[in-house]
Amino acid sequence: MSQRVVVNPIACEAHGMCAELLPERIALDDWGYPIVDGRPLSADLIEHAQRAAEACPTFALLLQADGAPIRASAGASRPAPPTVRNVRRRPEPVVRRQTRQGRRR
């Protein structure tokens, strides 16, 4: 089942996170708003797309499964599969512990 990225232009506030995290599919226009390439995502891009959607401060970036309706209400549509959560959460505490140790020294 293929997925594509969709942007809710009403929710979007041009923070530009998505273009940083998914430059393969998202460029920014003159005013910083995303220009989204709506072609289906290849397997190697899905994880990046999920991360970009999670990083959007206004939940304006949505992942749409082929044929499935987009859940439009902000927040409820946030795609957050467990694998992505693990990827995001595990490394962070490690980094923090290291810095704290560094400070103690």
By CB under 8 A, name the one of 1, 43, 66, 69 that touches another protein. 69
Decide: 44 and 22 in contact? Cβ < 8 Å.
no
By CB under 8 A, name the one of 2, 20, 39, 72 that touches another protein. 72
Q: Which tokens sit at 20?
A: 């940083």
Stretch that binds another protein, among 42-50, 68-76, 78-86, 97-105 (CB under 8 A): 68-76
Cβ-based nearer residue to another protein, 48 or 58: 58
Q: How far is the CB of 64 from another protein (least distance, A)?
A: 10
How far is it, in rounded angstroms, from Cα 25 to Cα 44?
12
**Which residue is it, tokens 């929710």?**
11
Q: Which tokens sit at 58?
A: 């206004």
Q: Which tokens sit at 82?
A: 């467990």
Q: Does 48 bind another protein (CB under 8 A)?
A: no
Decide: 34 and 18 in contact? Cβ < 8 Å.
yes
Q: How far is the CB of 34 from another protein (least distance, A)?
A: 9
